[in-house]
Structure 1
Amino acid sequence: MRVAIAGAGAVGRSIARELIANGHRVLLIDKNPESIKPDRVPKAEWLLADSCELSSLEEAGLEHCDVVISATGDDKANLVTALLAKTEFGVPRTVGRVNHPNNEWLFTEAWGVDVNVSTPRIMSALVEEAVTVGDLVRLFTFRRGNANLVEMTLPEDSPYVGKPTGLIPWPENTALVTILRDGQVYTPSAEQPIESGDELLFVTAADSEEELERLLAPVEHG
């Protein structure tokens, strides 16, 4: 897979190293000459150019990329890069870095962003996931599927403690993906019971989240 990354700062370089380690071809693009440091990621291609300019993206050969990642520290630049990649070059998958949480609402398919990655949201979700019991914590949004990856730590007073997952009336458009228990990962089967303290990972539609909370934690959510 060929991946272009706009923004060759610390974030962009880190992403590039991970992708290269997984066998992908990576092109790093940055308009700042001081950011062009091929010795930091020697197996990547490098291009000194402005990813917001159509001519630069043509030079980068974006039409041959499978994924474009907008990873600069400027939300405006990330949006423009994603939009050009999607509309002008037909890149199948675009990922946009959100630097300021107030701008997250812009990072949608309307601006050519298939997946947005908000560092503030991820950090707050990790904090909530670590300390909350009986509340759903949204970890990730799947834009194309209009669904979310959510987590709940099952409270002691849940009516479904000890019940097999196959007997639980899950809300529509909801799937239990994984059960995390005592450091182990369990693939849920219909006979697999859930226990107090289990971390449950679901993929669910946004409009089913409230029903899921009420189902598993009715004391907390009425």
Structure 2
Amino acid sequence: MKVAIAGAGAVGRSIARELLRGGHRVMLLERELSHLDEEAIPDAIWVHADACELSLLEEAGMETYEVVIAATGDDKVNLVHSLLAKTEFGVSRVVARVNDPRNEWLFDSSWGVDVAVSTPRLLASLVEEAVSVGDLVRLMTLRQGQANLVEITLPNDTALAGKPVRSLRLPRDTALVTILRGGRVIVPQADDPFEGDDELLFVASVEAEEDLRVALADHGIRP
């Protein structure tokens, strides 16, 4: 997969290294000459360009990339770059970094963003996930805000303990995708029993999230 990353600061470089380890081809776009260091990541393609300049993006061959990541430290740049990637170059997947949580509402499909990643929100969700038992926690927004990855850790004395997965009646547009149990990752089958302290991961549409809370409450869990 070919991935273009706007911003070659600490965040952009870290993303590039991870993607290269996964066998992907990566291009780093950077406006500041001081951030250009091809020796730091020699396997990446380095391009000195303003991520908001259409002509420079054309020269870089942006239309040949399947994924674009707007990872600069400036939300305005990330929004403009996302919009250009989606509307001018038809990039199928655009991921944008949100630096200021107050700007998060802007990062949606109207600006070409498929997935917005807000570090403060992600950290807060992970803290909630780590300390909350019996609470439904939203971990991530998927597919242009149309669905969420949500998690709940069952109390040790849950009424679901020993009951099969099929006994949990889920609302429409909701799926139980995995059960984390100790060090195990379990793909849930209809006859698999729940246990106390299980961590359940669901994908649910925005509209179905409240219905999921109700379904869990019906089983004695008050998220």
Same fold, TM-score > 0.5, yes or no: yes
Structure 2 unaligned regions, length at least 5: none
Quote the sequence identity (%). Answer: 60
Deviation per CA, 1:80-105: give whole Å up to 9, x if none.
00000110111111110011111111
Give, in whole Å, the separation in 1 of the partners of 2:130 and 2:29: 36
Give, in whole Å, the separation in 2 of the partners of 1:83 and 1:13: 22
For 1:87, the aligned partner's letter is T
Does the 8 Å contact 1:94/1:115 carry over to 2?
yes
Does the 8 Å contact 1:94/1:113 carry over to 2?
yes
Alignment of 1:158-169 (within 5 A): 158-169=158-169
TM-score (norm. length: structure 2): 0.95
What value does the CA root-mean-square deviation take over the aligned residues? 1.6
Following superposition, the deviation at residue 213 of structure 1 comes to: 2.3
For 2:222, the aligned partner's letter is H
Following superposition, the deviation at residue 55 of structure 1 comes to: 1.1
Q: Report the secondary structure of 1:89's partner residue.
A: coil
Residues 122 and 145 (structure 1 numbering): CA distance in 2 closer, same or farther, change over 3 Å?
closer
Residues 192 and 199 (structure 1 numbering): CA distance in 2 closer, same or farther, change over 3 Å?
same
For 2:9, the aligned partner's letter is G
TM-score (norm. length: structure 1): 0.95
For 2:47, the equivalent position in structure 1 comes to 47
The count of residues paired between Structure 1 and Structure 2 equals 222
Q: Report the secondary structure of 2:88's partner residue.
A: helix
Deviates more, 1:104-113 or 1:157-166: 157-166
Are positions 1:188 and 2:188 aligned together? yes
Following superposition, the deviation at residue 160 of structure 1 comes to: 2.2
Deviates more, 1:127-136 or 1:18-27: 18-27
Alignment of 1:211-222 (within 5 A): 211-217=211-217, 221=222
For 1:92, the aligned partner's letter is S
Deviates more, 1:137-146 or 1:99-108: 137-146
For 2:185, the aligned partner's letter is V
Structure 1 unaligned regions, length at least 5: none
Give, in whole Å, the separation in 1 of the partners of 2:150 and 2:188: 16
Alignment of 1:19-98 (within 5 A): 19-98=19-98
For 2:204, the equivalent position in structure 1 comes to 204
Residues 76 and 152 (structure 1 numbering): CA distance in 2 closer, same or farther, change over 3 Å?
same
- The structure with the greater share of residues assigned to helix is 1
Following superposition, the deviation at residue 144 of structure 1 comes to: 4.4
Deviation per CA, 1:147-188: give whole Å up to 9, x if none.
111100012454322210112211111111111112211110
Does the 8 Å contact 1:160/1:216 carry over to 2?
no
Residues 60 and 37 (structure 1 numbering): CA distance in 2 closer, same or farther, change over 3 Å?
same
Following superposition, the deviation at residue 217 of structure 1 comes to: 4.0
